[in-house]
Amino acid sequence: MRLGRVDLPGNLLLAPLAEVTNLAFRLMCKKYGASLCFTEMISSDAVVYGNASSAMRGITCDEERPFGLQLFGNSPEVITEAALVLEDMFYPDMIDINLGCPAPVITNAGCGSALLESPELVSDIFSTLCEGVDTPVTAKIRVLESRAATLDMAHRLEDAGVCAITVHGRTCEQGYSGTADHSYAKLIKEELSIPVIVNGDIRDGVSAEKVLEYTGCDGLMIGRAAMGDPHVFHRISRYLDDGEVIGCGCEQKRDDLLEYLDLLEKFDLSSHINLKAHVQWFTRGLKGSRRMRSDIGYADSRDSIVEFVKNMCEKELV
């Protein structure tokens, strides 16, 4: 799949996820076949006002490339200024603007999916940004109740110069409840000439194949299904390639988690995340996972967390 001037080796992308898609986790997803990974959302206002910790969410390394960073905001000028700062710092291969986050802390500030209610402002944001930066620009949107309004938004984004659109098939009001409606992505794909990526409820090879065949979209973006499970990209790829269904047992998760912990240390990221929560995500779906999550809550240091991880498969057998 080609996005702008970037040729990707495949069409599976990791969604930007707040408090999740740090560099270490993105590298794990790349290892297992994610063609492009996005950073956590970065506040454009925070970058412009010199918040170093926000800007450093864009940190990357050669092994990750190509990579994308995602910004949120509601001012054409501020978003563009922040994009220029980050472009100069990290040389991203893609800059995505968030039009999909439904969290009240984001929408109450007029950002994320709240912007979908202001089509003229969206046109201004993307026209200004696409003219101001050298990096290809993409947009991640949610759908509106009206198909016509959603399609109008997609056309506005294409006209403004974005090189691709990702469509999450839920409204802002739905949050993550209910089922994603991929008929919107299908309609947008039929209307636009740029790549369209579909997002929402893609959990495994079966759902991935079904969504691709139904929508005709160019790629899939995987979000919550990847939390604590970077191996999901490998399983989906294998199914799409040859129909093979493969699992991910405790030993695989343990080894992936130990590698992830090492990468967090390598890039000095451990203190920037809720380490216990991340470890707990990796235990989902395992036998005895409820007890594992309870046990990890008592860990009082990184060493004790590592020791827990090394022995987690013994707990699965109990």
Residue range of the domain that includes 272: 250-311
318 domain residue, yes or no: no
Residues 274 and 159 reside in one and the same domain: no
Residues 213 and 274 reside in one and the same domain: no
Predicted local distance difference test score (pLDDT) of residue 298? 85
Q: How many domains does the chain have?
A: 2
Two structure tokens written together for 202: 């893609």
CA pair distance 61, 43, nearest whole angstrom:
21
Residues 154 and 11 reside in one and the same domain: yes
**The domain that contains 95 carries what CATH number?**
3.20.20.70
CA pair distance 210, 214, nearest whole angstrom:
6
236 domain residue, yes or no: yes
Pairing of strands 94-99, 137-142: parallel
Predicted local distance difference test score (pLDDT) of residue 318? 54
Mean pLDDT, to the nearest integer, of 41-66?
Answer: 96
101 labelled catalytic: yes
Domain end point (choices 209, 242, 275):
242
For residue range 10-22, what is the model confidence (pLDDT) as tens digits?
999 999 999 999 9
Whether residue 271 has pLDDT greater than 90: no
237 domain residue, yes or no: yes
Domain end point (choices 195, 218, 242):
242
**Residue 286 confidence class, pLDDT cut points 50, 70, 90:** confident
Residues 172 and 195 reside in one and the same domain: yes
Domain end point (choices 184, 214, 242):
242
Residues 205 and 306 reside in one and the same domain: no
For residue range 204-233, what is the model confidence (pLDDT) as tens digits?
999 999 999 999 999 999 999 999 999 999
Choice among 29, 37, 101, 313 that is catalytic: 101
Predicted local distance difference test score (pLDDT) of residue 155? 98
Residues 52 and 197 reside in one and the same domain: yes
317 domain residue, yes or no: no
Residues 265 and 231 reside in one and the same domain: no
213 domain residue, yes or no: yes
For residue range 119-161, what is the model confidence (pLDDT) as tens digits?
999 999 999 999 999 999 999 999 999 999 999 999 999 999 9
Largest Cα–Cα separation, the chain: 59
Quick check: pTM over 0.75?
A: yes
Measure Cα distances from 86 to 56, 80, 157, 219, 300 in Å: 9, 10, 22, 26, 36
